[in-house]
Structure 1
Amino acid sequence: MDAVAEYLFLSLPQSADAKEWLEQQLNSGKSPIYQLKFPDFQIGTLDSLIQESEELSKIDLLLVLAISKVVDILSNVLETPTGSFSNKVVNSKLVLDYVEKFQWNTSKYRLDNPVTQLVKVIADEALVLDSDVRASYQSYQTAKLNFLAADRKKNGDLSIKSLHEIVRPEQFVLNSDHLITVLIAVPKSLVDDFKKTYETLTQFVVPRSAELISSDSEYSLFGITLFKKYQQEFYSAAREKKWHPRTDFTYLEEVLDNLRKEFDMTRAAETKTKNDLIRLARTAYSDIFSCWVHIKTLRVYVESVLRYGLPPKFDFFLIKFTANSLKDVSKVKKELIAKFGYLGGNQHSQNQNLHEYASLVDTEYDPFVIYELPIV
């Protein structure tokens, strides 16, 4: 799914002039810059950070897919454009406001827990929600299909239409050990042939038993009485004639009563599952997106420690691109490399081992920490 806005999450070693340059010189000052603060994370050992870096990369991707799925579901159910994000809310804020004013949720993700534990808690929360939305969407799809099937039965032609509002008991032979009345929907163009041949289609068709029950623009529905023994044979011969046996219908009061209720029941079920899904998906979007930004923040922090060393002294910036400026993303990245490319050199690393750790973590090694956060 294409992004309709995007942020670059950028981490740089602390510098007096970095923010000023980003605001005034980067992309000729056209890209809004926001500076956020990292909380004090319990980082553990460098070896554990390398493992968390790999784990964070995988979780980051999973959450991108989860958010895209939720957006797709909401767009399909609400029948709105997938690119419309103006009404998407995260923690009671519009999504762009939430990103630009992001603060770590210390009450939910306590900072006295190590990074390893924080990653697990956040990821588990998001992935459970993703699973719940997918299950709810499947329930809605099933309810929708059931309703559409009931709607076809209610409003379709006589070859598929539910017949509970059409037939009457006096049109059927009931409670007979040997005789049965079957229903055949005959295309209008074949009615004359039907009247001439139905009595001889099989043995023991009751002569002149065909009764016109109903007609629509395409079909005439007839009831024919014959011996039960020849029912299936009659159906097969009717199909060869291009007639449509209504084998789905049996005249029983209990069945008719269920058919009378089917449309209203399936419509109610479709409406309920749709409303339940919309509520869940909106909540899930808010919570999964929040989890994603927390994971992205952790990823930037972990990579910054691996890149720039200890103690952690680096600044966290967001660079914003709207729908009209997405084309500038690659240009901005080139400008950043031109300005801060020296950070990839050995002269920057306070600890040569840290720099080697960093090169092991990212196969596409940038001279600074930078990640994309697309808004879909």
Structure 2
Amino acid sequence: MSENQVFWLISAPNLQGADIFDLVNQKTAKENSLSENRKFNTPSLRVGTLNSLITLNDELQKIDTLVEATTKKIAKQLVDLVGTKPGKDKSLSINGATIPQYLQQFVWDDAKYNLKLSLQEIVDKISQSVSKIDDDLKLKSSEYSSLSSSVAAEERKAGGSLQVRSLNGLITQDNIVQTDYLTTAFVAVPITAEKDFLACYETLSDYVLARSAKKVAQDNEFYLYSVFLFKKFYENFKNKIGEKKWVVRDFKVESEKPTQERAKLTEEKKNYRTGLIRWCRLNFPEAFMAWIHLKVVRVFVESVLRFGIPFDFQAILMQPLKREDKKLRDILFEQFKYLGSAHISGKNEADDSEKFYPYVYIPINWEQ
């Protein structure tokens, strides 16, 4: 099939002496080449009461939207992790089948959604399982994002300017004076402001040792100077430096080398990413299959409400060719207008989800 990832799931009552699928396929595929069509297998679900069907039908659109959103979030997370374009990632498969293949070959999973359950019980089971997946995804995505931020912060420290990068490895014991009364301040000064700094640092605060400034390190933008002063005036000196738009770097000898910390975080992120990819590959099929089973419930409920009992309808999976939607709608309207009434139109300009057609129409839109 084509790369188009938009499908229409429609249904209409069978006619005596005529196969509804053959009629639709003849008009839309064979005569006009507007879509690719397959019969879609729908099981005999438990109908229940009319009131229960009406109540459930009102809920289904909302639940469908939530399940779709979760399924697409997992897909997007997986695509982001493996670095492929939406629709191109082979990880987005359902038990080895592509999305079109799964839809074409759809068989109701009675082991997961037992046909003896009521429609409401099936929908509740789908909703609860996907809600749990969604909660897990939010937690895992948040944790991975936090790890990524930590790694990025460490990388900025390592590769940033002297205003922000770690000073470990740049400062040695020879650069530090630390006694009961004296301490060392490390000042990051823009290269362009060096003369100004050297001319005024001794007088910015009381008890700064004269001629104590020593250049410790430099990069393309800044010099790092050490300055000796009395401990009790350290904060005052720091504030005065700040008023000049320079930065005093508070320095403490770290127990672990920055490179080791970065390596540890990077490895942790890598391992978490691997685990998250595995989780997405396991849970994407679960969410997608739940979504399609929900679509089947919607087709069944709307068909029974629309066409009555005993139910005898045929569901059809259609994959419209791009830019042929209008022609396809017109042909389907002509085919099924006998089912409708005066307020039903195939030419409604409203949003597609709000249109009402003489046949049952449920969209499956996998365009991301």
TM-score computed with the length of structure 2 as normaliser: 0.90
- Identify if the C-alpha distance between structure 1 residues 46 and 220 changes in structure 2 by more than 3 Å, giving closer, same or farther: same
Which residue pairs with 1:310 in the alignment? Answer: 309
Aligned-pair identity in percent equals 29
**Is 1:274 aligned with 2:278?**
no
User: In structure 2, the residue corresponding to 1:25 is in which secondary structure?
Assistant: helix
1:375 aligns with 2:366: yes
> 2:10 is paired with a residue of what secondary structure?
strand
Q: Distance in 2 between matches of 1:260 and 1:30?
A: 60
Query: Counterparts of 2:52 and 2:157 in 1: how far apart (Å)?
Result: 61
**Deviation digits for residues 314-365 of structure 1, max 9, x if unmatched?**
11110013xxx2322233122111110111249xxxxxxxxxxxxxxx9743
After superposition, residues 66-215 of structure 1 pair within 5 angstroms as: 66-84=70-88, 87-174=91-178, 176-215=179-218
Shift of 1:97: 0.6
Contact kept? 1:91, 1:287, Cα under 8 Å: no
Match of 2:348? none
- Say if 1:184 and 1:221, in contact at 8 Å, map to a contact too: yes
Aligned-partner Cα distance in 1 for 2:219–2:88: 44
Residue 68 (structure 1) shift:
2.5
Task: State whether structure 2 residue 283 is matched by structure 1 residue 284.
Answer: yes
Q: Which runs of 5+ in 1 are unaligned?
A: 347-361
SS at match of 1:225: strand
Check if 1:240 corresponds to 2:239.
no
For 1:283 and 1:123, the matched residues in 2 are separated by 18
Task: Give every structure 1 segment of 4 or more consecutive aligned residues whose post-TM-superposition deviation is greater than 4 Å.
Answer: none
Q: For 2:324, which of 313, 324, 328 is the aligned residue?
A: 328
Q: How far apart are residue 42 of structure 1 and its match?
A: 1.5
Q: Aligned partners of 1:207 and 1:130: how far apart in 2?
A: 63
In structure 1, what residue type is equivalent to 2:209?
Answer: V
Distance 1:231 1:58, change over 3 A: same
How far is the alpha carbon of 1:206 from its aligned partner?
A: 1.4
Shift of 1:259: 3.8
Structure 2 CA distance for aligned equivalents of residues 245 and 74 of structure 1: 43
Equivalent residues of 2:79, 2:85 under 8 A apart: yes
Residue 163 (structure 1) shift: 1.1
Count, aligned residues: 351
Distance 1:6 1:85, change over 3 A: farther
2:337 aligns to what?
Answer: 341
Q: Contact 1:4–1:83 at 8 Å: present in 2 too?
A: no
RMSD: 2.0
CA distance in 1, matches of 2:262, 2:354: 57
